[in-house]
């Protein structure tokens, strides 16, 4: 996603994301001339409930749907 779109969307939703049930972490990674979003949630269902209400309406047409992988291990400070 272009950095300008990312910056606008994240600015609009970061408060609701931090308060969302199941939210753990969000990262915006610079990649291939744009931003790739990596997030950690307790469940896909919790992500989808928040994403479909808060984020999806703000995305431009043609934005790819999120894909998911299972996190096997995480270590944070």
- The pLDDT score that the predictor gives to residue 33 is 86
The structure tokens 């910056």 sit at: 7
The structure tokens 């931090």 sit at: 18
CB 27 within 8 A of CB 39: yes
Q: Which tokens sit at 1? A: 């996603």
- The pLDDT score that the predictor gives to residue 76 is 87
Query: What is the pTM for the complete model shown?
Result: 0.88
- The pLDDT score that the predictor gives to residue 49 is 98
pLDDT bracket for residue 32 (50, 70, 90):
confident
CB 11 within 8 A of CB 17: no
Mean pLDDT of all residues belonging to the chain? 94
């Amino acid at each position: 996603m272009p950095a300008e779109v990312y910056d606008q969307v994240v600015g609009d939703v970061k408060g609701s994301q931090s308060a969302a049930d199941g939210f753990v972490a969000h990262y915006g990674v610079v990649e291939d001339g744009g931003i790739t979003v990596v997030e950690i949630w307790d469940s896909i269902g919790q992500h989808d409930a928040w994403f479909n209400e808060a984020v999806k309406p703000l995305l431009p047409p043609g934005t790819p749907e999120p894909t998911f992988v299972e996190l096997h291990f995480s270590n944070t400070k």
